[in-house]
Amino acid sequence: MKPPTVTFCLAGLLACGFASAQDKPMDAPLKSEPFGEIDGHAVTLHTLTNKNRLQARIMDYGGVVVSLRVPDREGKLADVVLGFDTVAEYPEKSQYFGCITGRYANRIAKGKFSLDGKEYTLATNNEPNHLHGGVKGFNQYVWKGTAMETADGPALKLVWSSPDGDEGYPGKLDCEVTYTLTQGNALRIDYKAVTDKPTVLNLTNHSYWNLSGEGSATVLDHELTILADRYTPVDETSIPTGEVAPVEGTPLDFRKPTVVGARIGEDHGQLKNGLGYDHNYVFKNVRDGKMIHMATLRDPKSGRIMDVDSTEPAIQFYTGNFLDGRTGKGGKPYAHRSALCLETQTFPDSPNRPSFPSPVLRPGQTYETTTIYTFSAK
C-alpha cells in the first residue's frame, strides 16, 4: 500500500509556500532550443512545464532527462536528477545519467546469448559482461524528438531506428519513447518498439535521483520502500545466479520504509558482490502489461516523495557505488553514493535464463511498457 501523499495543485500553491511563484508569469508548457552538437548532429533540449510549475528538461541525445525540478514541503523547487550543463560533457563524464538504456538495459553474461538456436556475440563493455546495450547503446544516439501538448500534460516523443546487427543484436528495431510531465505531477515514460527479426529487448530510464537536490552530499539518509519480497542474487560480476531468493532476513529487505544507509555496510555477500546495493527486485515473472506500485523514496529533510509504478516485472536498485566526485551541473561534485537509481526492467541476463521473464520480441509483436515517477511532499 502506498503511504499517504500530498499532491500539489494550483489551488493549493499558497498553502504550499508558492505565493511568490504565483506572482511570476507561467512558463510556456513547451520550449525547444539548441543544446549544442554531438558528432556533427545538432542536439535539441526540450523543456516541459506543467501547470504546477514542475519542469523537466529532456534532450534528444540519448533521451536524457537533463533536469527535473520538483517542490519540497515548502514549495521550493529543486533539481532532483544528476546531469551536466552542456551536451559535450555527457559522452565524456556521464555514467548513464538520465538516459534511455538499450537495446538491453543491465547485464548479459559474457556478452553472449542464443535465440532460436543461433548464438549472438555482444560487446563485453563491463568485463566480463555486456552492459546497457554495449559500446554505443541507445544513450549515445540523437533521437528524433517531437514536443507536443496532450490532455495529460506536455510531452516529448522520441523516435529511433536501430539497424539489424546494431551492437551485435539481431533485427531492425523501431523504437518510440514518450515522456509526459503530467498535470498530476508525474513523469510518465511510455516505451514502444517493433522488430523485423526475433530479438531481445529491455529498455529503461537511468536517472540518478537525489530528492534533496542534485549535488547534495548523500542519499544514504533517504528512506526507501521496495514492495518486493524476492530478488535475484548475483555473483561477483553482478550477474544473476539464476536463483530467486527471499529478501526476508537480509539487508536487501526494504518492504518497510528503511533508511538507505542503515545496512549498506553490513558484512553480507550480496552487498560485497554489488559493492553496495545493485540488485534486481522481483515483482512478477512475466510482462503482462499490468501496472503495479513498486517503490517509494522519501527525503526526510525536504519532504519530497517519489513513488514508482510500472508495468515491468522488476526494478533495479543501485546506490551510485561508482560515483567518484566528478563535477556535474554548476560545478557540483557528484560524490560516492550521492544519488541512487530505481530502474524498472525485466531481469538481468534474461536472454540466458529461460526461467526469467522472456525478453524476446518477435515480428508482429509490439513491445509496450510504462513507468511512472510521481512526486509529492509532506
Active centre residues (catalytic)? 206, 343
User: Is 274:238 a contact under the CB 8 Å cutoff?
Assistant: yes
Q: Based on the number of CB atoms within 10 Å of its own CB, is 40 exposed (0-12), middle (13-18) or buried (19 or more)?
A: exposed
Within 8 A by CB and 6+ apart from 185, the residues are 7, 8, 50, 52, 54, 70, 374, 375, 376
User: Is 231:240 a contact under the CB 8 Å cutoff?
Assistant: no
Phi, psi of 321 (to 5 degrees): -70, -20
CA atoms of 108 and 127, how far apart (whole Å): 11
For residue 319, give the nearest of 95, 79, 59 by alpha carbon.
95
CA atoms of 269 and 277, how far apart (whole Å): 11
CA atoms of 110 and 122, how far apart (whole Å): 8
Q: Tell me the CB-side half-sphere exposure of residue 111, using CA atoms within 13 A.
A: 16
User: Is 32:44 a contact under the CB 8 Å cutoff?
Assistant: yes
CA atoms of 95 and 76, how far apart (whole Å): 28
For residue 215, give the nearest of 353, 109, 297, 335 by alpha carbon.
335
Q: How far out from the chain centre does Cα 322 lie? A: 16
For residue 134, give the nearest of 191, 181, 96 by alpha carbon.
96
Question: Residue 373 has which C-alpha cell?
Answer: 515517477
